[in-house]
A and B are shown apart, each in its own frame.
Chain A
Amino acid sequence: MNTVSSLKQLQVINAIWWSIISIIHAFALSAFGLTVAEIFTDSLICNILLAAACQLIFSNMRFYLPRQEKYYYVLVISLAVSGVWLFVSNIILKNIFKSDEHYLAVLGSSLSIRYGVSFLMVSCMSMISLLWYTQQEQQETTSRKADAERLAKEAELFKLRQQLQPHFLFNSLNSISALTGTQPEKARHMIQQLSDFLRGTLRRDEQQWSSLKEELEYLQLYLDIEKVRFGYRLQTNIDCTDKALQMKLPSLLLQPVVENAIKFGLYDTVGEVLITLNATDKNEQLEITVTNPFDEETAQPLQGTGFGLASIKRRLFLLFARHDLLQTSAKDNKFITTIVIPQLYEGDHN
């Protein structure tokens, strides 16, 4: 689109340019005592031919853009095209005004000036063409590079979003298998929940952002399944401000954070595990805090920034180019994960 409009602009300027040159040409000839018809014909033929020659150079460069020694190319082609132009225009004008001695004398004595002027014109035009096409090419390269980067980024984000723990899936299926014998109704309910959860994972690929409210609904499915698996051991407490509920965040970001907290909590402590999630709007940013219990004595130091959180960190970096959006801390046998989501999401209106 950009190329077409700039090409049109170039053509308009080109036409104005040649009209001005023709008028200057005519004024210059009028000093030599020629008739109006002679001045008009001379100017018209010379400049139409010259314009055609320049157009030829311009079109030619679309197919062949000199890369090395491009300035020599401009020099040589300008010298050659000007020569050819002088030769052709001279023959035509001589033939038209065969019997006009005065005109032929003026023509003959002005040949070197004509060559000089046409050389300037042609070299100027070829420089413009060269710059124009070089710029076009650069623009294309830049946009292609940007496209490639965007695709790579999307692919990586897609991969990070897709990391569903097979462990979770198989254990859930095992729970369903257990329920089938004793409580078939409950088994059916859990299949429903698991299906909704999996469908959510698949469906959310395209729409990159969703509101906290939507994400919490999706998270609830996950929590319900985990509660069936772990029974009384797993307790959750979710607390959000109304404004925070309307704020947006990248989809499928929250669930892995909570999954990490649950795993961490369940496998690092014996007995009941309380997972809390708080969401607030702070400085027009969405701040989500997830806490889980852990044992300061025995927790493996690296576990907190294990794979679950590392991939979240990477996703936040790809989306916001910031490393400080995910923070973790440990206090009083509680492990706290804090995520800040700036509200400048893409695709505001779709």
Chain B
Amino acid sequence: MEFLFEQLKNWKFYLIGAYPSGPLTGLTLNIVLAILSITIGLFFGIIFGLGRTSCRRYIRYPCSLYIDVIRSTPLLMIIFWFYFFLPVIGARLSLFWCAVISLSVYAAAYQAEIVRAGFLAVPMGQMEAALSTGMSRLQALKYVILPQAFKMMLPSFVSFFNSLFKSTSTVYIIGIVDLTRTGVIISQLKPNRILAAYVCMALGFWIVCYALSYAAQILEKKLGILDYESYKPEICRQDLVLIPLPKTVKRLLVSQK
């Protein structure tokens, strides 16, 4: 246990690195990457997801193609595409934005599927009713369909965020100093402390992911949605939590709804 405490003295390196004076590294970088890419991914996810449900072929086919192609390419491959070959066509990207964009492209495809499933879960009659009150299709989408669909999608989004957060560790391979790289660097600086460094690394990921799955569980209960797993195996999660969180944290998570 003692060697763990010794590692915890390095907490600043694990969390933010030399941030104010140097580049942002560590766990915070993972979180920033995940938040940025899920936000950008959400924007395009809605476009592609709704596009896939469109009745016009010239909209539906490109959207389906995008979703299917991205979903069947490894994330690592997507990252390499942006890393090595975006510059070939003349785009200049820093490594961080390269990671953000490739993660966003990845997230957009998965979120499009969530959006589509949520959208299809809203009864058709809702749209007809909205149209009959004189709304335009876009208005109906904005004021009637999407709010309902979003309520159903929300737990899936939280779970997907969890999965995306874990996927951000993939940027380790292109040399970005995220939490994984931080742990590996520490384990290499002090080879006899290798286990402690790995435990700290795992702990960092575990705490964030656990909080997220807890949030997803609470959302599920609040919204009373249980059957979203059937359409999204990737983000499948169960309603079991071993360690109860303190009430204050719980309240915080609930009030964020």
A interacts with B: no
